[in-house]
Chains A and B, each alone.
Chain A
Amino acid sequence: MAELTQNEKRLLTTLEKEKKADAPHLASLLGATPEAVVQWAHLAQDKGFATVERITSKEFVYTDEGKAYAKNGLPETQLLRIILPGTQLADLQKHDVFKIGFGQLRKKGLIKFEGTTVAKIPETSTDADEAALKNPSAADARTKEFIKRGILQECETVRNVIGITPEGLALAKKGLDLREETGTLTREQILSGAWKTANLRRYDVTKLPKKAYPGKIHPYQRIIAEMREILLEMGFEELYGGIVQQCYWNFDALFQPQDHPAREMQDTFYLKETLPLPKGYEKVKAMHESGGETSSTGWGGVWKEEKAEQCVLRTHTTSVSIQHLANNPNPPVKAFCIGRVYRRETIDTTHLAEFEQLEGVVMDEGVTFGNLLGILREFYNRMGFLGVRFKPSYYPYTEPSLDAEVYIEGIGWMEMGGAGVFREEVTAPLGINYPVLAWGLGVSRIAMLRLGLKDLRYLHRSDVAFLRETPSLRYTKGGV
């Protein structure tokens, strides 16, 4: 049973005697306003203890003008009274209600002119109109006419008749605690011991609270943090690098030929800034042109320094991991990087010009393509994707290359990321003498699935309501 407030209890106690009464009457008994009493009655009604009957009625009241007419007669009646045989129009015109009265007399056809003399039409009178004015009624057409003339006004009055239900009566008979209630406990009440006798107000726990919104990290950040933790647990070192990279590290060191379509202006954000090439770039140049000292043929043609010096917004975080490997050529290296990358794409619901990429590398003596598959399976399993499979693919800087697909309930197999072993053309010029296993994945694709987003832009131009409503813990099953 829902709790009664102090006021509802007082109302029921009063109703126990009164049974049924108008709000103003109860209000005077309870020392409150009728509006407050009606509100308490409604609350008690919701709980099944009281009844509130709303009775509306229409009433006609006289306007100030109407009050005068009710006393003195309608203007037309007043004029009629002074029309005697031989009365001149000029005589009537002296009367203060002449204008209204005369108009009405003519409209109702009660007078006629004989020259300049005004005469009553026999057998007519305003008696019926006067009677109607005394007793206005909605059924009477005359009443409507009086409203139009501004003599009467129609008013709606509402009466709230409050009663008690048998349940309410039973409750009141049992006796209700009418002591004054305490809302907020005060410091004084706690210290003085007054709390012992205080009647603490009971609150309705079935009512929803006013919303409070905690400060929290972005749901997308939470997914990034989850991936980061998995990789740290798997023994990987985290990398961080600049979003502006030289073409040398973004493309050339990764054996992307200088005329490769991905390097064109329409796919990559170029900057006018340039940076000097690092020491040892000649080996990369030789690799592109002729395959250096490996079994490779290279791409042939002439490798141009100025193309490598130009800066771009990094198109992948591989530009960061390759520099880490170049600076740390001794095994083992297990590293990852999660960061924003840029592609010159037309922005729509599934394509953004900037998005987060996760990239991992493992370099060690004796690591194999099979180990790469093992890392991927482990990573995706930990992300909650239990079905993982691999198929051949192509990336310019890895060989062999693969795509990883995960199984998602209700969707099927979905491509999640690419991977491969860095080509010798990539590692040899940088002095890396052991195989490098590398893989990457688009973080936003997983975020879109997990958060049920239809539009990727929503991750970056978010509705605050969405951020507030998305719980920190999202129970996931099968990765999504």
Chain B
Amino acid sequence: MAIITLPYKYLERLTRTDKKTILDKVALIGSDVERVEEDHADVEFFPDRPDLFSPEGVARAMRGYLGIETGLPTYPVKPSGISFTIDPKLANIRPVLGSAVIRGVTFDDESIQSIMSLQESLHWAVGRGRSKVAIGIHDLDTVKPPFHYIASPRSRKFVPLDYTEEMTMDEILEKHPKGRDYAKIVKDFPFFPLIFDRDDHVLSFPPIINGERTRVTIDTKNILLDTTGTDKRAVSVAVNIICTAMAEAGAKIESVEIGGMQTPTLAPAERTVSVAECSRLLGIDLTAATMASLLQKMRFGAKAAGADKVKVQVPCYRADIMHDWDLFEDVAIAYGYDRIQDLPPETSTVGKPHPVQITAALAREAFCGLGYLEVMPFTLTNEDVLYGKMQREEKKGVLHVMHPISIENTVVRTDLLPLLLEFLTLNRHRELPQRLFTVGDVVDSCHTHQQAAGVSMHPDVDFSEAYASADAVLHELSIDYTVKESIDPAFIEGRRGDILVAGKTVGVFGEIHPAVLNAFELEHNVAAFEFDLRAVPGYPAL
């Protein structure tokens, strides 16, 4: 999640109102205020709104929401006369380049920090950890155009940021902290992306690291932006967000020529939307004029075009507007969620419980009647609990998660009984008798079904208790079963039975084997049973 630091003084100057008004309302445009400090607030914005990842962007939105300045913000762009060439060999490596010149910036330590943090947030939200988009910011006055974006031999040397010695690009991946962090994005390519100037001075090795030469300092007046990536739309959004944020801070934006095109234009996109459709979706009555003014409050350009249409200009920094409904959400936000009449729909339906849950509830009732206490163990467990301690063979249908968090949680349960025994271990110090049961999901390969299991532990436990309890629960669930001697190694030989329905084994009961008790560190005899709820008549085939 992107948590943005908003320094009050700067925010108040840009928004042209006091911080209290801003903080009171900022959640209503879609955010969570995380911390309110003496001189700044930390606010979390959602990943679909990277245009709010800077104080400048937040101020722009709040001026609209508070009615201080509404409608489409416009950003004039002059050509800079600067151009880039792109090496066709980059087509399969990192083909997309965006750029811009930002003039007349005034930096101090705080505002440099602010732009760096915007850059990092964009790397996260839009750039997918720099793989899709990576942004480089350079002091334009340290290099000379034209610039060249090429697929370079990996042996090319330059001084990377924060270093004083030249290194080859391969060495940077190996030794530079940023190189190590992001090496995986480029390491398999025969050539590496590189940007350099007329005099062969290196600006950057995207998406890894800039050159030390173009480092931005508080003396920097003019900036050159390089934005590279694999997705045209994402690259362009990143450029637009940075340029418009810097323009809000007072800088002038100039375009750059890339492949014969001037970029960026910072021009809005256009969409014509239906007022009736919006009213229908939100459940509020709107006219074209109200809808247009609500959209203007959200910083869109909007004009009624007849009774049912509104012509909308979408600012270039709004990456999230993919569909008409995205605009309708902004209408709802501007209108105020609290003003929308909240009435349940008139849709008439009758409630209907699921047969699996009906069966599960009846099984629980039967166990409770026998004095068993329900427990709800985790479904993630490990092979040792499920099979090792139980002296059982690993089941074919067991599912191993590919990247377990710990050795305790490597598989999804295929049985419930081992988890109940684990529970008894956990509660060794508690008063006996302990009679525990659980009803819940288990997997067999990709299929899920429900099973039920019970255990009883006390000094006088015997085989007949296991048999009688299993019989009672099975009877309550109308399971017509027969029994034959079992060979389940988790139970004592001669004190174990398989539960059969129509010739198929659906469960087991008996006295737990002392070696299993030892493995679970239990001191008393345990009577236990488990069965598959698919044996219940009427259990649906899923």
Contacts and interface: CB of A to CB of B under 8 A. Distances in A.
Given A311-B446, A313-B412, A373-B340, A235 B231 contact: no
Interface string B323-334: 111101100110
B164 interface: no
A346 B408 CA distance: 12
A27 interface: no
A354 B271 CA distance: 42
Contacts of B403: 265-266, 269-270, 344
Contact of A214 (B233, B371, B431): B371
Interface string A297-335: 110110000000001010000000000000000011010
B163 interface: no
Nearest to B435: A215
B184 interface: no
Contact of B352 (A237, A244, A331, A370): A237
A31 interface: no
Contacts of B283: 368-371
Contact of B280 (A232, A362, A366): A366
Interface stretch (B45-53, B286-294, B485-493, B503-511): B45-53
B519 interface: no
Contact of A215 (B281, B337, B373, B405): B373
B281 A394 contact: no
Interface string B341-378: 11111011111111011000100100111111111111
B446 A464 contact: no
A392 B49 CA distance: 12
A390 interface: yes
B345 A271 contact: no
A459 B376 CA distance: 7
Contacts of A332: 347-349
Contact of B356 (A240, A377, A463): A240
B46 A394 contact: yes
Interface string A371-390: 10111111000000000011
B21 interface: no
Nearest to B353: A238
Contacts of A269: 401-404
A345 B28 CA distance: 29
A39 interface: no
Contacts of A221: 364, 374, 376
B483 interface: no
B373 A243 contact: no
Interface in B506-542: 542
A349 B369 CA distance: 33
B380 interface: yes
Given A215-B368, A346-B405, A354 B347 contact: no
Given A216-B368, A334-B349, A242 B448 contact: yes
Interface in A215-233: 215-218, 220-221, 225, 228, 231-233
B436 interface: yes
Contacts of B502: none
A273 B371 CA distance: 40
- The CB with the most chain A CB atoms within 10 A, among B349, B367, B406, is that of B349
A331 B324 CA distance: 23
Contacts of B436: 464
Contact of B367 (A215, A271, A275, A425): A215
B168 interface: no
Contact of B376 (A218, A231, A272, A368): A218
Contacts of A234: 344, 351
A467 B353 contact: no
B340 A370 contact: yes
B412 A362 contact: no
- The CB with the most chain A CB atoms within 10 A, among B282, B351, B400, B404, is that of B351
B281 A374 contact: no
Given A240-B542, A374-B343, A460 B378 contact: yes
A242 B337 contact: no
Interface residues of B, number: 87
Interface in A41-73: none
B402 A424 contact: no
A393 interface: yes
A465 B361 CA distance: 23
A94 interface: no
Interface in B405-458: 405-406, 409, 412, 423, 426-427, 430-431, 434-436, 441, 443, 445-448
- The CB with the most chain B CB atoms within 10 A, among A240, A259, A353, A437, is that of A240
A462 B437 CA distance: 13
A401 interface: yes
A461 B345 contact: no
B29 interface: yes
Contacts of B374: 216-218, 221, 467
Contact of B368 (A217, A311, A468): A217
A298 to B, nearest CB: 7
A369 B282 contact: yes
Given A272-B400, A424-B323, A233 B351 contact: yes
B472 to A, nearest CB: 12
A394 B446 contact: no
Nearest to A347: B405
Given A259-B128, A347-B405, A393-B30, A373 B342 contact: yes
Contacts of A389: 338
Contact of B347 (A232, A242, A364, A376): A364
Given A366-B280, A373-B337, A394-B47, A213 B373 contact: yes
A399 B350 contact: no
Nearest to A314: B448
B539 to A, nearest CB: 11
B282 A371 contact: no
B401 A378 contact: no
Interface string B242-278: 0000000000000000000000000000010000000
A367 B347 contact: yes
A260 to B, nearest CB: 9
B117 interface: no
Interface in A74-107: none
A431 interface: no
Contact of B443 (A244, A300, A345, A369): A244
Given A271-B399, A294-B323, A391-B337, A340 B329 contact: no
A337 to B, nearest CB: 9
Given A291-B322, A300-B231, A367-B345, A240 B354 contact: yes
B318 interface: no
Contact of A370 (B341, B377, B400): B341
A113 to B, nearest CB: 70
A353 B368 contact: no
B338 A390 contact: yes
A221 B132 CA distance: 45
A324 B369 CA distance: 35
B112 interface: no
A368 B412 CA distance: 39
Given A242-B443, A332-B349, 20 more contacts: A217-B368, A218-B376, A238-B353, A242-B542, A244-B446, A259-B132, A269-B401, A269-B402, A271-B399, A273-B445, A300-B233, A301-B231, A313-B412, A331-B347, A334-B349, A367-B347, A368-B282, A390-B338, A437-B345, A464-B423
30 contacts: A214-B368, A215-B368, A215-B369, A215-B371, A215-B372, A215-B373, A217-B368, A217-B374, A221-B364, A244-B443, A244-B447, A259-B128, A261-B47, A295-B271, A354-B378, A367-B347, A369-B281, A369-B282, A370-B340, A374-B342, A374-B344, A376-B342, A377-B342, A394-B48, A400-B333, A421-B281, A423-B325, A425-B323, A459-B376, A465-B430
Interface of B: 27-30, 46-49, 128, 132, 231-233, 271, 280-284, 322-326, 328-329, 332-333, 337-338, 340-345, 347-354, 356-357, 361, 364, 367-380, 399-406, 409, 412, 423, 426-427, 430-431, 434-436, 441, 443, 445-448, 542
